[in-house]
Amino acid sequence: MAEKAETSGQREKENESKKSGPPPVAKAYLLLYNGLLTAGWFVVLYRTVLYSIDHAPSWRSDGIPTSVPGLYDDLRLPLRVFQTAACLEVVHVAVGIVRSALFTTFIQVFSRIFMLWGIVEGVAGTAYSPGLLLVAIAWSATEVIRYSFYFFALIDAIPYPIKWLRYTTFYILYPTGVTGELMLSFAALPVLKASHQWSTSLPNPYNLSFSFYYFLMFFMALYIPLFPQLYGHMISQRKKVIGGGAKSKQE
């Protein structure tokens, strides 16, 4: 899902668009949107940290929990609200108030929505998987940094610590999130296989069959080619933005 390398012409256009920015009404809306989602994801991060502090003494000696009962009860409302609100990002790109690749934005948002509503909410028992803890930490920390970065970018005043975090924390947070998502998916597989949930078999009036179990396996397999590609893209972006040397300092 990595974006194509930028040409010099594309970068010039981006610089021009940054100077002009979105119209005043759109800018005010985006400031409100990014500010609210920064605060919302901070709530998720704060509750996740509190849960970890409270329950860590009962975890295994290596610090890894075998189950996370009660975590989703603490996170359910803010996760539902603020992750679902990310669907507006697709709208922002579609109507032109945010410049980004529409398909890439859609895929990124869909994968999160699918994991939340299709797996955690949709398949019984998955919310007890320790993968939820990894996902909550990775998603919330990433989004607090990302939305605050967008907020400050709108007013042309990005603090360097935010910029550095934006292009550095992915080294740990991205693999952490992917690991958590795969753990949640693995936890869902036995339930889906036994229950045939959200699946249909022949014969039926529509003459169509669908197995959510095999669809999830296919979805999980996509991580194999996509993770290295996107991870490599993020590393290259970091080198462009804050990599060492005089060029990065001028940027």
In a domain, 3, yes or no: no
For residue 197, the number of C-alpha atoms closer than 13 Å in the C-beta half-sphere is: 15
pLDDT over 90 (residue 1): no
Instruction: Provide mean pLDDT across the span 225-234.
Output: 92
pLDDT over 70 (residue 222): yes
Decide: 133 and 203 in contact? Cβ < 8 Å.
Answer: no
Percentage of residues in the chain having pLDDT higher than 70: 88
In a domain, 114, yes or no: yes
pTM to 2 decimals? Answer: 0.86
From the CB of residue 244, how many other CB atoms can be counted at a distance below 10 Å? 8
In a domain, 9, yes or no: no
In a domain, 6, yes or no: no
Instruction: Please give the tally of structural domains in the chain.
Output: 1
In a domain, 2, yes or no: no
Residue 199 CA to residue 230 CA, distance in Å, equals: 31
In a domain, 249, yes or no: no
Decide: 71 and 51 in contact? Cβ < 8 Å.
Answer: yes
Joined tokens for residue 206: 């529509």
Range of the domain at 161: 18-244
pLDDT over 70 (residue 158): yes
In a domain, 151, yes or no: yes
In a domain, 251, yes or no: no
Question: Which residues are marked as active site?
Answer: 174, 181
Amino acid at 64: I
pLDDT confidence of residue 20:
63
Decide: 114 and 219 in contact? Cβ < 8 Å.
Answer: yes
Residue 171 CA to residue 234 CA, distance in Å, equals: 9
Tell me the per-residue pLDDT of 184-194, one tens digit each, with 9 for 90 and over. 999 999 999 99
pLDDT over 80 (residue 13): no
